[in-house]
Structure 1
Amino acid sequence: MKFRKVTLNIPSFTIAVVFVMAFSCCAQREVRHRVPLNEIRLSDPAILTDKETQTYYMTGTGGLLWKSKDLKLWEGPYHVAKTDPNSWMGPNPMIWAAELHHYKNKYYYFATFTNRDVKIDTVAGNIIERRASHILVSNKAEGPYIPMEDETYLPADKPTLDGTFWVDTNGKPYMVYCYEWLQNGNGTMEKIELKPDLSGSIGESELLFKASDSPWSREKDENGNDKPNKVTDGPYLFKTETNRIGMIWTSWIYDVYTQGVAYSESGTLSGPWIHESDPITPPNFGHGMLFKTFEGITIMSVHSHKKVNGRTIRIPHFYEVDWIGDKLKVVKPYKP
């Protein structure tokens, strides 16, 4: 079936749409009902609080969506990401770290897509697959989310991941993402300006900071000496009630997944970014984001790692946080 473009009632967008059979998607899993959060296995959990439907939508790695009215019991999973099989992603891309964002009356799906059949580089014996942060769009929070105008947002020869959304003090929209350490040896956090309708990117990316700038992340070099870890993972931007711009992001302390926080000294996305000396969450919790409940409580969602029968599983968790002052603080586990 040929790929064709039509308009999907979205002004200023030319939406790439094909019939369902031509979309890349997996077979629909059986939808479960009244599932407690701790029974869901999900990496990189991200929550959208949707006022229009009075529903919480949870996405993450895997291209699946869960929904809940109270954060206690969940319904899902639903497949919501509809990609073009003729694009660089291929017919069945891996989907990592999806986030939903509501912006100018549309819903956007920021995620990392990997085409394992396309190799872009080999560094230190590691084959690097075609992987990039990308954005899909929908008229509804529950999707489906489909391609927009530009087929690529970031350079094809660089592996990028974990794109997130931010509108800076200049009113312009940006994607903030990681340029992966597998290629550059020292993961970076970068930003790129987006078109006003988010249908593509504008200009070149800008470096925000490197993994080695972190004072808390650690690993061992080839001689067994301590050094900063090389991984940048899971950025998420926020603003405190004193209008201080911060970013939570994740790396490692040796073999422990750990999340830290940095603040922009200039009050803009360009930084410079000053890192807190200590992690912000307990050990083994990371890739966080922030959302508000319908009751106005600010929550951080993260996932933990756990070994079960030799297999690593990842479980979503919620923490209540405080950002009333000029710093973000984790208060306590949140029990809805």
Structure 2
Amino acid sequence: MKAQQNYFKQKSGLVFSMCICFFYFSIVHAQKKRPVREAVPLDSIRLSDPAILADKKTGMYYMTGTGGLLWKSKDLKLWNGPYDAAKTDPNSWMGPNPMIWAAELHQFKNKYYYFATFTNRDKIIDTVGENKIERRASHILVSNKAEGPYVPMKDDIYLPADKPTLDGTFWIDKNGKPYMVYCYEWLQNGNGTMEKIELKPDLSGSVGEGKLLFKASDSPWSREKDANGNDKPNKVTDGPYLFNTVSGRLGMIWTSWIYDVYTQGVAYSESGTLDGPWIQEKEPITPPNFGHGMLFQTFEGKWLMSVHSHRKIHDKTIRIPKLFEVDLSGDKLVVLKPY
């Protein structure tokens, strides 16, 4: 009987301890929960890679980007947020606390999809020179609502585990099939590439292998210095986003560098499909220090481009979202004035 009493005492103590722990972690979680700000001007938000979805169903603009957070606005000028949007699986390759980069929201077949880059800093997949390559890949989450939460689907991975990939975006090609277009990072291959991979009809996974579209070195405008101080093409591919002009021409905006200046250019497909060949325009399309753009149409029908710029404050670099009006009515994308 005494042994039985000791057992129940131990069990009660364990339950009590678990309750205390749960209470403690609930308090910590509540303390860590970030406050939601209201009526924040766009240029007061600090956000890399801003991507905006104009959701007709709710009459709301939803902005996301790097960090896994979400902002909402009725007019593109004043924003409420940030809200948590992505719910990843802690038991997946991403780990319990992945970094989230360059998220985009896309509506497709009555659902909403969250294309983003996830990095598990605790997993090293390769070492190239002095660079330790972390496990990083583009991936897709799904939700029934634009505001989320966005959760994993069927496939554990979309892209090879031994390749660092990033900045995945969405496109339906002329063959009617859905694709992810993404960057294979220069840290491993030395010359960043733009690639595509076919997606399953419900976007729950990928089909086959990735295919090369073009290389960073194909750019006539991006450049950096080699070890001898001579100009050479920059090695970075960043931030692809696809569009059609009114004439039906297929284009892709993407970003690299001119020395230390973040810069965005554009390429056009001669075939009108993702297979290209892709012809790079000779000059950048945005002013210096703007990049990682995407395009969306306002509820009034105006086409806008969202980008971010870099600014140094007390030796710290901050990134600020910015909108530009664009013209797609001709055969090329033309960037107009700031919005």
Fold similarity call, TM over 0.5: yes
Paired with 1:127 and 1:157, the residues of 2 have a C-alpha distance of: 12
1:127 counterpart = 2:138: no
Counterpart for residue 78 of structure 2: 73
How much does 1:27 deviate?
4.3
Deviations 1:86-143 (A, max 9, x none): 0000000000000000000000000000000000000011000000000000000000
1:176 counterpart = 2:220: no
Q: Secondary structure at the match of 1:236?
A: strand
Q: Which runs of 5 or more structure 2 residues have no equivalent in the other structure? A: 1-25
Confirm or deny: 8 A CA contact 1:245 1:268 kept in the other structure: yes
Name which of 245, 261, 268 aligns with 2:250: 245
Counterpart for residue 204 of structure 1: 209
Paired with 2:166 and 2:133, the residues of 1 have a C-alpha distance of: 13
1:302 counterpart = 2:307: yes
Identity level (%): 81
Which residue identity does 2:178 align to in structure 1? Answer: P
How much does 1:32 deviate?
0.3
Deviations 1:221-243 (A, max 9, x none): 11111010000000000000000
Paired with 1:248 and 1:78, the residues of 2 have a C-alpha distance of: 28
Query: Which structure is higher in helix share?
Result: 2
How much does 1:276 deviate?
0.2
Paired with 1:55 and 1:27, the residues of 2 have a C-alpha distance of: 27
Name which of 269, 274, 277 aligns with 1:269: 274
Q: Which runs of 5 or more structure 1 residues have no equivalent in the other structure? A: 1-20
Name which of 12, 30, 34 aligns with 1:29: 34
Deviations 1:256-282 (A, max 9, x none): 000000000011011000000000000
Paired with 2:70 and 2:32, the residues of 1 have a C-alpha distance of: 14
Q: Where in structure 2 are the equivalents of 1:81-230 lying within 5 Å? A: 81-230=86-235
Name which of 293, 306, 320 aligns with 2:298: 293
Confirm or deny: 8 A CA contact 1:47 1:57 kept in the other structure: yes
**Structure 2 length normalisation: TM-score?**
0.91
How much does 1:321 deviate?
0.3
Confirm or deny: 8 A CA contact 1:41 1:316 kept in the other structure: yes
Which residue identity does 1:73 align to in structure 2? Answer: L
Q: Secondary structure at the match of 2:43?
A: helix
**After the TM superposition, which segments of 4 or more aligned residues of structure 1 sit over 6 Å from their partners?**
none
**Structure 1 length normalisation: TM-score?**
0.92
How much does 1:28 deviate?
3.0
Confirm or deny: 8 A CA contact 1:241 1:326 kept in the other structure: yes
Paired with 2:133 and 2:32, the residues of 1 have a C-alpha distance of: 27
Please identify the structure whose Cα radius of gyration is greater.
Answer: 2
